[in-house]
Amino acid sequence: MNFTLKVWRQRGAGERGRFVIYPARDVSPAMSFLEMLDVLNQQLVLKGQEPVAFESDCREGICGSCSLVINGIPHGPDRGVATCQLYMRRFTEGTTITIEPWRAKAFPIIRDLVVDRGALDRVMQAGGYISSNTGGAVDGNTILIGKDRAESAMDAASCISCGACVAACKNASAMLFVAAKVSHLALLPQGEPERATRAKALMKAMDREGFGSCGNQYECEAVCPKSISVHFIAAFNREFLRATVAEPGPLTEIPSDPHAEFR
């Protein structure tokens, strides 16, 4: 198969980026999208040119590293898969494929198609965890919960933090990510004691990182490689309202940026 690739090239965060056109010849339909880019990069290296920088790790859809907007859709045209699980047979012979990085203020470009998703980590550091005593760890299933609840928590926990929801959102909002993390922990007995502070802390952290607000267009759900439902966003909205009304907490304010010392 032959394609024309229109790839975003950018040397660094502050630099000006532009599209560069590369031909992709004799591509096997059985190649994954990333393997096709590997072949392109080999050709570029042989020609003495700079290869296209893109991120990948596990290449089996669970690490959340690969992050390409392909023809205007994060993770490309297939539903419920990451870029690494997308195969070239999915594309029409001879067409132009546009490849862009995740575009959001919170995700500054490191190089070409690689963006810094540290913002998602900092949101998690704000409260996306449970506090537990050190020492002999208690078995996770010591406290029994119902099957339905376990399934719902697992649906939310399947988030691989790839950031496709942010990339797809008109407002570059991370609500599906935040909602999945908050719901996952709020549904489990281990996460229950801190659910109110967690919901409020993650909300503030999301705003602080420069993500937009949710427009309820549900594009995030449509591109999520794990097909996480927007019902978790409604659940998170409820969680935030409940936290605000039922557990307002002490008057002392959470420091505006808990990570200031690490910057």
Partner 1 sequence: MTRLFTVLLTSLGSKVVVALTGLGLAGFVVFHMLGNLQVFEGSESLNTYAAFLRELPILLWSARVGLLLIAVLHVGLTIRLAIHNRRARPVPYAVREYRKASMASRTMALTGGLLLIFIIFHLLHFTAGVVDASFSDRLDPRGHRDVYGKVIHAFQNPWFVVLYLAAQGLLGLHLSHGLSSSLQTLGLEHPLLNRLFRAAGPLVAGIVVLGNAAIILAIALGVLRA
Smallest gap, in angstroms, from Cβ of residue 166 to partner 1?
Answer: 9
Amino acid at 229: S
Q: 18 or 47, CB closer to partner 1?
A: 18
Q: 55 or 221, CB closer to partner 1?
A: 221
Token pair in block for residue 53? 């920088």
Query: Measured between alpha carbons, how far is 179 from 147 in angstroms, rounded to an integer?
Result: 21
Smallest gap, in angstroms, from Cβ of residue 172 to partner 1?
Answer: 4
Strand 73-74 versus strand 109-111 pairing type: unpaired
Token pair in block for residue 45? 């290296």
Smallest gap, in angstroms, from Cβ of residue 120 to partner 1?
Answer: 14
Smallest gap, in angstroms, from Cβ of residue 44 to partner 1?
Answer: 21
Query: Measured between alpha carbons, how far is 29 from 88 in angstroms, rounded to an integer?
Result: 5
Query: Measured between alpha carbons, how far is 137 from 151 in angstroms, rounded to an integer?
Result: 23
Q: 189 or 248, CB closer to partner 1?
A: 248
Q: 8 or 40, CB closer to partner 1?
A: 8
Q: 27 or 97, CB closer to partner 1?
A: 97
Q: 35 or 78, CB closer to partner 1?
A: 78
Smallest gap, in angstroms, from Cβ of residue 221 to partner 1?
Answer: 7
Q: Which residue has the tokens 């119902």?
A: 146
Q: 66 or 223, CB closer to partner 1?
A: 223
Could you list the residues that contact partner 1 (CB under 8 A)?
6, 8, 17, 19, 69, 71-73, 98, 100, 103-106, 170-173, 203-204, 206-207, 210-219, 221-223, 230-231, 233-241, 244, 248, 251, 253
Smallest gap, in angstroms, from Cβ of residue 141 to partner 1?
Answer: 26
Smallest gap, in angstroms, from Cβ of residue 70 to partner 1?
Answer: 9
Query: Measured between alpha carbons, how far is 78 from 87 in angstroms, rounded to an integer?
Result: 9
Question: ∠218-205-124 over CA atoms, to 5°?
Answer: 85
Token pair in block for residue 86? 């997308």
Q: Which residue has the tokens 């001879």?
A: 94
Query: Measured between alpha carbons, how far is 69 from 241 in angstroms, rounded to an integer?
Result: 34
Token pair in block for residue 15? 């630099």
Q: Which of 113, 204, 242 is nearest to 167 (CA)?
A: 113
